């Protein structure tokens, strides 16, 4: 198996505009085993125009035929058509097949190839990726939490325009959990990453971890969908999560990360020979907390299943779990049990120290914001949390009508949003809010949403398992 190389990518993109003949149409698939009653709708995702939501709105036959099952390209090089087909097939399958039928359209061998290709690219990236090959034709789209809401992700990609040589994307993490299509959403993003490794960036969210995926549904989703190969698929996903970079700098002036800023790690005493078992205490007093440097961020070990909440490797946990506050200062994030809380003064210090103008972070949806006095609600999919001398702090959330499964009748009805940054300085955010795709295809939750707490607070940290 081989993967797309940079030089081959542009040629592949231009050569893939024409569609090849389908291997199996959805109608064939219907006769091949899916219950007829379940396969009443034609494919409804027309990748050439705006998204179509369901068969009631669009009873016409499919305008594009799907290639099912998905086949890994014999030369190992993805094309634009391959990704378009992947998106359409996942959309169609979500409306017409049972979750357990996903391997019929996306075989485990294809999963293995895609994840291997993507992981090879991701593991080579630094903890903080620098996106600075931007030109006068470039734009950068920044995306917040997605949480398995496949149809809203597909809408977002159409609305913003697909990734291209000039349209960069930075996804700020939390691709999986809660929503019913975390796996499909993540795989689509991996495919774009493989196809455009230098313009698509996938950062890690706190939900790209063993602990969160075991509580909020992704593990069960994967095991349900891939049954006897489910454990294998889940393990491979966790391995891929470990490779995701933690943060990005867009242009020279915009820092993005899922949670936010991170602490300085005080120098630790070296263990002397002969005292191998001497315990070293890492527990900086809150009063000694200060903002870390990008050298420290890039030195942190990110390849952990769950970032630790104590010890010498706290920076990944800070970047993925921290929250802003309206109270000045830097303090342990007691609500979350991991990461930091930081005030407007820290935003200003961070921006000033690193000559930045903007922090774009995600991590808080409408449910989290309900419990955060002083900070804005997530009705529009974003909030401007701190406006300070050096710039701004923004929270960006891209899952509209979140969470997909909610125990109460009263829903937040929040919009999702993405941000577009453009030339010349790429530091002035243009916000695009969007409504949820309705109705969502019917699906069952993969976690007990009536019992699991609303936002990721009060974690059972003792149950977190860190990789060796």
Q: Binding residues for Mn ion, per CB under 5 A?
A: 174, 205-206, 363
In terms of CB distance, is 173 or 344 closer to Mn ion? 173
Residue with tokens 């930045």: 356
Shortest reach from residue 36's CB to Mn ion, in Å: 41
Identify which of residues 254 and 368 has a Cβ nearer to Mn ion in the complex: 368
∠ CA 8-12-13, rounded to 5°: 120
Name the catalytic one among 29, 147, 207, 253.
207
- Give the whole-angstrom CA distance, residue 148 versus residue 108: 19
Q: Which lies closer to Mn ion via its Cβ, residue 96 or residue 206? A: 206
Least CB distance from residue 147 to Mn ion, whole Å? 9
Minimum distance of Mn ion from residue 155's CB (angstroms): 21
Find the angle CA(289)-CA(293)-CA(299) to the nearest 5 degrees.
110
Beta strands (DSSP E) in 97-234 are 128-131, 139-143, 167-171, 200-202
Backbone angles phi, psi at 320, to 5 degrees: -90, -25
| 287 three-class SS | helix
- Do 354 and 425 meet the contact criterion of CB atoms below 8 Å apart? no
CB-nearer residue toward Mn ion: 167 or 178: 178
Would you say 316 and 307 are in contact if contact means Cβ atoms under 8 Å apart? yes
Element housing 327 (H / E): none
Least distance in angstroms from the C-beta of 99 to Mn ion: 24
CB 358 within 8 A of CB 391: yes
- At 444, list the tokens: 């069952």
SS3 432: strand
Two tokens at 40? 């009443």
How near is the Cβ of 30 to Mn ion at its closest, in Å? 38
Distance CA 121, CA 296 (A): 22
Give min distance, CB of 321 to Mn ion, in A.
Answer: 8
Q: How far is the CB of 365 from Mn ion (least distance, A)?
A: 8
State which residue, 167 or 258, has the beta carbon closest to Mn ion. Answer: 258
φ, ψ for residue 391, nearest 5 deg? 160, -145
The residue nearest Mn ion at its CB is 363
How far is it, in rounded angstroms, from Cα 60 to Cα 37? Answer: 18
Phi and psi at residue 393, to the nearest 5°: -120, 130
Q: Choose between 155 and 321: whose C-beta lies nearer to Mn ion.
A: 321
**Nearer to Mn ion among residue 220 and residue 363 (C-beta):** 363
Which residue(s) pair with 263 in the sheet? 291
Active site residue 207: yes
Nearest partner of 381 among 149, 164, 163, 139, judged by Cα: 149
- Residue whose entry in the numeric block shows the structure tokens 């569609």: 19
What 3-state class would DSSP assign to 218? Answer: helix
Catalytic residues: 207
């Amino acid at each position: 198996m081989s993967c797309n190389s940079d030089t081959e990518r542009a040629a592949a993109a231009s050569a893939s505009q024409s569609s090849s003949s389908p291997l199996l149409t959805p109608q064939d698939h219907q006769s091949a085993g899916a219950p007829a009653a379940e396969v009443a709708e034609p494919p409804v995702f027309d990748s050439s125009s705006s998204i179509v939501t369901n068969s009631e709105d669009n009873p016409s036959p499919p305008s594009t035929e799907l290639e099912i099952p998905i086949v890994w390209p014999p030369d190992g090089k993805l094309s634009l058509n391959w990704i378009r087909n992947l998106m359409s097939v996942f959309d169609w399958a979500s409306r017409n097949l049972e979750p357990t039928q996903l391997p019929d359209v996306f075989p485990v061998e294809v999963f293995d190839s895609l994840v291997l290709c993507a992981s090879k690219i991701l593991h080579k990236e630094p903890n903080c990726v620098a996106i600075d090959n931007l030109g006068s034709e470039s734009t950068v789209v920044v995306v917040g939490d997605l949480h398995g809401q496949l149809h809203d992700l597909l809408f977002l990609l159409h609305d913003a325009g697909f990734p291209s040589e000039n349209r960069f994307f930075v996804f700020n993490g939390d691709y999986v959990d809660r929503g019913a299509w975390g796996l499909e959403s993540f795989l689509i993003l991996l495919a774009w990453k493989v196809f455009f490794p230098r313009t698509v960036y996938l950062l890690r969210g706190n939900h790209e971890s063993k602990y969160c995926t075991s509580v909020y549904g992704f593990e069960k989703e994967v095991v349900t969908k891939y049954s006897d190969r489910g454990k294998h698929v889940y393990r491979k996903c966790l391995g891929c999560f470990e490779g995701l970079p933690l943060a990005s700098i867009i242009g020279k002036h915009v820092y993005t990360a899922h949670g936010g800023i991170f602490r300085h790690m005080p120098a630790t005493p070296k263990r002397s020979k002969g005292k191998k078992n001497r315990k070293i205490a890492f527990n900086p007093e809150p009063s000694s907390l200060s903002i870390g440097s990008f050298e420290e961020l890039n030195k942190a070990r990110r390849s952990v299943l769950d970032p630790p909440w104590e010890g010498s490797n706290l920076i990944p946990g800070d970047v993925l779990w921290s929250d802003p506050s309206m109270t000045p200062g830097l303090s342990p994030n007691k609500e979350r049990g991991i990461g930091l809380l930081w005030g407007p003064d820290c935003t200003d210090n961070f921006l000033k120290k690193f000559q930045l103008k903007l922090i774009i972070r995600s991590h808080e949806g409408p449910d989290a914001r309900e419990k955060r006095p002083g900070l804005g609600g997530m009705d529009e999919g974003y909030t401007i949390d701190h406006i300070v001398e050096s710039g701004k702090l923004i929270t960006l959330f891209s899952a509209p009508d979140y969470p997909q499964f909610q125990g109460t009748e009263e829903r937040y009805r929040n919009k999702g949003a993405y941000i577009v940054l453009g030339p010349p300085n790429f530091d002035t955010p243009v916000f695009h809010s969007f409504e949820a795709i309705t109705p969502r295809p019917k699906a069952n939750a993969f976690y007990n949403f009536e019992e699991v707490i609303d936002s990721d607070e009060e974690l059972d940290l003792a149950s977190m398992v860190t990789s060796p």
